[in-house]
Amino acid sequence: VKKFSALLVGAGEMGKNWANNLRDCEQVKTIGWMDIRPDIAAQAIEEKKLTGVAAYDDLAKALAESRPDFVVDVTNPQSHHDVTLAALAAGVPVLGEKPMADSMERARAMVRASEKSGKLYMVSQSRRYHAGAIAFAKLIRDHVAPLGILNSDFYVGAHFTGFRAEMKSVLLLDMAIHTFDSARQFSGRDAVSVYCEEFRPDWSWNRGKDSAVALFEMTGGLRYDYRGSWCAEGLPTSWEAEWRAHGPGASATWDGENPPVAARVKSSSELIHDSEKFSGEIPKHHFGGIAGSLREFLRALETGELPQGECHDNIKSLAMVFAAVESAESGRRIKIHN
Ligand SMILES: NC(=O)c1ccc[n+]([C@@H]2O[C@H](COP(=O)([O-])OP(=O)(O)OC[C@H]3O[C@@H](n4cnc5c(N)ncnc54)[C@H](O)[C@@H]3O)[C@@H](O)[C@H]2O)c1
């Protein structure tokens, strides 16, 4: 197997998960870890008991000295643009955390930088690799498509600290990017327009508007209806959200945890037609989450194949987020451009 050297950027909570993920992949050798806060990378290297990993607090120096085969960007969203541009300008491919950027202008600049350098920039949209999500997408493709109706519910009560506690559109920007991206994964469609309301129930402990409903028109006339909240306690949904999809004569549901279920009409004699239920197949021996996105990224480096999350595709999910925010702020339905 071909080995790749990695420079990890960002040593926060998720950066530490990525350090484990890189360590556990036989194709990767982590050679450097960089964080803008002095000593943080060195402390993380010690905490993880890593050997052969150099600590940096300067990205230009880290890139020049370690000369990695790729960079993993696990900084906070506001820094993704600068880290990605610096790596691409040095000719180094980037696997970056979601959301791609904190504005569409900066995301577009990142896509252009990938084109200019001719190097891969892929966003690790980790929920795409969930075994149940893969099974649900296949169930829809094989038995339910073309979809006309798609609904998702995301209700989780989260008591945040750190950058999320300060974020204005914390549900839409930090979390709904996953759910909106899943809607594209499951339907195979892109968004055309959105009407969204963001709100804050009066019991919420969050400062910003942490709840939202959004109605997307997708290509082919599909309507995707999103509902979500970060201050919903007691009966939470899974972090993958709860899903319902309808196509001609068939539908599918997934609770985000158990195998997805579909049903197809078999007889047509009554007012309500009889249908037959069946389950989706959960893939076995499967790398889920960030282990899955890392493998897809490495395969793309080896073969030149276009991975899921490649920036030209992922920006279409980010565009759904910023259009939803714009609709909520303006009270208008917003057309979606990438
Ligand atoms: N895929 C998932 O399920 C998932 C889960 C959690 C977080 N994330 C994403 O991972 C990213 C990091 O999240 P986190 O919870 O670890 O945040 P965090 O705030 O704990 O850590 C971010 C780290 O990046 C460092 N940093 C900031 N700007 C930098 C720069 N320019 N150069 C180098 N280092 C810089 C900070 O000092 C900090 O140590 C976010 O984009 C977040 O949305 C994804």
Residue 334 CA to ligand 1 center (angstroms) comes to 30
pLDDT, residue 168, reads 85
pLDDT, residue 163, reads 74
Residue 22: which H helix or E strand, with range? helix 13-23
Residue 76 CA to ligand 1 center (angstroms) comes to 4
Confidence at 283, pLDDT banded by 50, 70, 90 = confident
Residue 280 CA to ligand 1 center (angstroms) comes to 34
Which is more confidently placed, 337 or 293? 293
Q: Is the pLDDT of residue 338 over 80?
A: no
- Pick from 59, 75, 317 the residue to mutate for probing ligand 1's pocket: most ligand atoms within 8 Å of its CB: 75
Q: Whose CA is nearest to atom 16 of ligand 1?
A: 14
Q: Measured in whole angstroms, how far is the alpha carbon of residue 27 from the centre of its chain?
A: 23
Confidence at 284, pLDDT banded by 50, 70, 90 = confident
pLDDT, residue 274, reads 86
Supply the DSSP symbol for 238. -
Neighbouring C-alpha atoms within 13 Å toward the C-beta of 297: 32
Which is more confidently placed, 95 or 267? 95
The tens digit of pLDDT for each residue in 97-144 reads 999 999 999 999 999 999 999 999 999 999 999 999 999 999 999 999
| pLDDT, mean of residues 198-202 | 95
- Report the nearest atom of ligand 1 relative to the CA of 75: 24
Residue 123 CA to ligand 1 center (angstroms) comes to 13
Q: Is the pLDDT of residue 320 over 90?
A: yes
Residue 211 CA to ligand 1 center (angstroms) comes to 23
Q: Is the pLDDT of residue 89 over 90?
A: yes
CA pair distance 12, 35, nearest whole angstrom: 9
Residue 327 CA to ligand 1 center (angstroms) comes to 27
Confidence at 2, pLDDT banded by 50, 70, 90 = confident
- Report the nearest atom of ligand 1 relative to the CA of 17: 16
Q: Is the pLDDT of residue 165 over 90?
A: no
| pLDDT, mean of residues 6-25 | 98
Helix (H, G, I), strand (E, B) or coil at 246: strand
Residues with CB under 6 A from ligand 1: 9-15, 34-37, 40, 59, 74-77, 79, 82-83, 97-98, 126, 162-163, 174
Residue 282 CA to ligand 1 center (angstroms) comes to 31
- Pick from 76, 79, 239 the residue to mutate for probing ligand 1's pocket: most ligand atoms within 8 Å of its CB: 76
Residue 279 CA to ligand 1 center (angstroms) comes to 37
Burial 117-147 (b: 16+ CB within 10 A, else e): bebbbbbbbbbbbbbbbbbbbebbeebbbeb
Whole-model pTM: value is: 0.95
Tally of CB atoms within 10 A around 105: 11
pLDDT, residue 162, reads 81
| pLDDT, mean of residues 263-267 | 90
- Report the nearest atom of ligand 1 relative to the CA of 126: 1
- Report the nearest atom of ligand 1 relative to the CA of 162: 19
Q: Whose CA is nearest to atom 3 of ligand 1?
A: 126
pLDDT, residue 281, reads 87
Confidence at 271, pLDDT banded by 50, 70, 90 = confident
Q: Which residues contact 86 (CB under 8 A, 6 or more apart)?
A: 59, 60, 63
Cα separation values, 119 from 79, 95, 282, Å = 19, 11, 33
Residue 12 CA to ligand 1 center (angstroms) comes to 6
pLDDT, residue 264, reads 95
Question: Are 143 and 252 a contacting pair, CB within 8 Å?
Answer: yes
Q: What is the mean pLDDT of the chain?
A: 96
Q: Whose CA is nearest to atom 7 of ligand 1?
A: 14
